[in-house]
Amino acid sequence: MAASRGRRLLWHGRCWFSQTESGVPPQPPDSLYPPIVASATAKSKAAKRRRLEHFNQRVHAAASIEEKLRLYGQLQRPKYMLYPQTFALNADRWYRSFTKTVFVPGLPPRAAAAAAAKAPGAVAPEAAETPAGVAPEAAKAPEPGTAAPEAAKSPELAAAAAPCLDMGELRSLACDALLQESFYQNKKRPFLYRDQDHTPGPFLTQLVSTLAAFLCGRNPLLAASSLDLKPQVNYYWHHGEEVVVHGHRKGRVDPVRFQIDDNPHLQIRVPKQLPEIVPLESDLGDVPVIDHKPSKLPLFKKQYENKVYIGSKVADPCCYGHTQFHLIPDKLKREKFVRANLEDQIEVVYRANGIASLFAWTAAQAMYQGFWNEADVTRPFVSQAVVTDGKYFAFFCYQLNTLALTVETIQNNPRKNICWGTDSKPLYDVVEDGSVKGFNDEVLLQLVHFLLNRPKEL
Using alpha carbons, select from 270, 234, 279 the residue that is nearest to residue 380.
279
The tens digit of pLDDT for each residue in 28-76 reads 667 778 888 878 888 888 888 888 899 989 999 999 999 999 999 999 9
Q: What is the predicted pLDDT for the residue at 115?
A: 45
pLDDT at residue 133 in the model: 40
pLDDT in tens, 210-219: 999 999 989 9
Which of 131-135, 192-196, 376-380 ranks highest by mean pLDDT?
376-380
- Taking the C-alpha atoms of residue 231 and residue 290, their distance in angstroms, rounded to an integer, is 31
Is the pLDDT score of 91 beyond 60?
A: yes
Q: Does pLDDT of 424 surpass 60?
A: yes
Per-residue confidence band for 123, with pLDDT thresholds at 50, 70 and 90: very low
- What are the b/e assignments for 397-431, b being 16+ CB within 10 Å? bbbbbbbbbbeebbeebebbbbbbbbebeebbeeb
Helix or strand holding residue 245 (H, E)? none
Strands 320-327 and 266-270, sheet pairing? antiparallel
Residue 403: per-residue pLDDT: 95
Look at residue 432 in the predicted model and tell me its pLDDT.
86
Mean pLDDT across 115-134: 42
pLDDT score of 163 more than 80: no
State how far the Cα of 117 lies from the Cα of 158, in Å rounded to an integer: 6
Least confident of 12-26, 53-67, 170-184, 322-336: 12-26
Orientation of helix 346-368 relative to helix 91-99, angle to 10° = 20
Backbone angles phi, psi at 327, to 5 degrees: -110, 120
366, 405 contact by CB (below 8 A): no
**Are 98 and 359 contacting, i.e. CB atoms less than 8 angstroms apart?**
no
- pLDDT of 263 reads 95
**pLDDT tens, position by position, 278-290:** 999 999 999 999 9
Give the DSSP letter string of 110-150.
HHHHHHHTSPTTEE-GGGGGTT----HHHHHSPPTT---GG
Does the pLDDT of residue 26 top 70, yes or no? Answer: no
Give the whole-angstrom CA distance, residue 156 versus residue 126.
Answer: 13
| Percentage, residues of the chain above pLDDT 70 | 82
Task: Examine the pLDDT at 152 and tell me if it is beyond 50.
Answer: no
| Beta-ladder partners of 417 | 101
DSSP 8-state symbol, 343 = G
Beta-strand ranges (E) seen in 343-448 are: 381-388, 392-400, 417-421, 425-426, 430-432, 435-437
Share of the chain above pLDDT 90, in %: 64
